[in-house]
Chain A
Amino acid sequence: MSTKSDDIVITTVCRRLAPFVQLFGLYVIMHGHSSPGGGFQGGAILAASFIMLAVAEGPATIGRRFSWRALTGCTSAGVLIYASLGVLCLALGANYLDYAVLPFAEPRSVGMLIIEIGVGITVMAALVSIFRDLLQY
């Protein structure tokens, strides 16, 4: 799949639609603890927006938006955010991933939000990275 779509309707609609898809993905991640959703679902929606752009505008569009290094770094960074929050809880004197000791008003809620963001980053970068690797074959 090395050619881009020549249909102006497809490219225009995908380009106009992408910001709204990404906004919805961010909403799903940030509202994961008060409505259905979460890091996995929101990350998949975010990745879908970039994959949609790649299908419409050609695979080079992913390369313009993410370098190899940034994609791999984001994939690792999400796991790192998650695991380091657990280590932070350890350092504050509680069990691993026991958010109750975090210095916030509703610590367990905030802890969940932080790890959902980490999960979202990892899922988004992993799906885009896999898609980009598979595109070469």
Chain B
Amino acid sequence: MKSIHLLITVVTGVFLMLGSLDMADTGDPASPPSTHVSPRYLETGYEETAVPNIVTAVLADYRAFDTLGEVTVIFVGALAVLLILRTDGEDDRP
């Protein structure tokens, strides 16, 4: 059984590494991430949002729904720790 787990892990790892070979080079100006939405954010971001920090403009405005998911992850993490560990408290309910 353990050898099957090891096999699955190794095969998955090999495929993930193969997939990472197709990723665009960091900072490559001709790659799709650098030619599609990034220039538009940089050129029109300040006019549209009136926020000088483009990173925040992308995170909190253009990708606000994604950030809502991140906050929910943190909330659920705290909730999971609470449910597993909290045994006492001011009230009797866990």
Contacts and interface: CB of A to CB of B under 8 A. Distances in A.
A49 interface: no
A129 B82 contact: yes
A35 B48 contact: no
Contacts of A136: 85, 87-88
Interface of A: 32-36, 38-40, 67-69, 72, 75-76, 78-79, 82-83, 86, 96-97, 99, 106, 108-109, 111-112, 115-116, 118-119, 122-123, 125-127, 129-130, 133-134, 136-137
A118 B85 contact: no
Given A72-B82, A126-B74, A115 B57 contact: no
B78 A75 contact: yes
Interface of B: 48-53, 55-57, 59-61, 64-65, 67-68, 70-72, 74-75, 77-79, 81-82, 85-91
26 contacts: A32-B56, A33-B60, A34-B53, A75-B78, A79-B68, A82-B68, A82-B71, A83-B68, A86-B68, A97-B65, A99-B61, A99-B64, A108-B48, A112-B60, A112-B61, A115-B60, A115-B68, A118-B71, A119-B71, A122-B71, A126-B78, A129-B82, A130-B78, A133-B86, A134-B81, A137-B85
B68 A126 contact: no
Contact of B50 (A69, A108, A123, A133): A108
Main secondary structure of the interface of B (DSSP, over half): helix
Contacts of A69: 90-91
Contacts, number: 105
A97 B67 CA distance: 11
Nearest to A108: B49
Contacts of A133: 81-82, 85-86
A124 to B, nearest CB: 10
Contacts of B74: 122-123, 126
A16 to B, nearest CB: 29
A116 B65 CA distance: 13
